[in-house]
Amino acid sequence: MRARGLVLPLASHAVLATGAVVMLAPFLWMLLTSIRPPAEVFGTVFRLWPDNFWGAENYWHALTVGRLPRTMLNGAIVCAGILVVQLLVCIPAAYALAKLEFGFNRLLFGLVLVGLCIPIQVPALPLYIALAEAKLLDTYFALMAPFFLSVFGIFLFRQFFRGYPSEIIQAARLDGMREFEIVWRIVLPSARPAIAAFSVFSVVAHWNDLYWPLIVVTSGDLATPPLGILAFRDTETGGNYGALMAGAAIVTAPMVLAFLAARRTFLRGITMTGLK
């Protein structure tokens, strides 16, 4: 009986370990390739560790030729600008859908759910034309504007606010507080787990976004990290894959470190909003 009781936990851990290996293997290969010389990247003999350590050359090439420090600064500016506006818009909207009773509440929430199904590629052309007519292409605003309203953020915060005690809100109303004061002074401090969860989703999505920056940015000074990675592409030689992997490692590192730092709050936010 004891042996049977150990089978299920061992099987579960084996499945989880297999999944972890599958997920981590590409990152390990990326790091190993980033320290290989060009001759060993496509060598005929497989070696886990390179014969000649080429890490310094590859990472120096990534930081200088690829201009990754500049692109990462642009990525930080864009992600921070988008996140701040998204929070300012999503939190009051989600509170209204969760705690206020009005005639079009369910209709508006239905539109939010419909918005979750619409990818950025659908409104890309009208947005591009509007920005071109306003002469705002190749600006930080063009990179950020389409994402100021996040229907996913509204949905996430609405699920969190639905679990917030209505008695506290009613007591605040009886004390004469207005709805905006209730949102920012009472409800918001308790929404930190949801804010952390949404922040991770938002920053990772826009840090890794290639589609929209590729459309609206033509200047290298405004290139975001994915555009900086494209600097290693060479149609004649096939690209410097050692430097490419070094650049990918540099670009990926801030996201991994940020997630590890906020993982507990992130998991609490996901749990408290009812998302699985």
Domain limits, the chain? 69-272
pLDDT tens digits, residue range 29-38?
Answer: 888 888 888 7
> CA–CA separation, 145 vs 81, rounded Å?
9
Residue 174 has a pLDDT of 86
Specify the CATH number for 69-272; select among 3.30.379.10, 3.40.390.10, 1.20.1440.230, 1.10.3720.10: 1.10.3720.10
- Chain centroid offset of residue 238 CA: 29
Q: What is the mean pLDDT of residues 34-63?
A: 79
Reported as a pLDDT band with limits 50, 70 and 90, residue 275 is: very low
Whether the per-residue pLDDT at 276 is higher than 50: the answer is no
> CA–CA separation, 186 vs 245, rounded Å?
46
DSSP run (H or E) holding 2: helix 2-33
Binning the chain into helix, strand and coil, the percentages to the nearest 5 are 75, 0, 25
* Phi, psi (degrees; rounded to nearest 5) at 215: -85, -45
Placement of tokens 């709805």 in the chain: 179
**Beta-carbon neighbour count of residue 190 at 10 Å?**
15
pLDDT tens digits, residue range 180-226?
Answer: 888 888 888 888 888 888 988 899 899 999 899 999 988 878 889 98
DSSP classification of residue 275: -
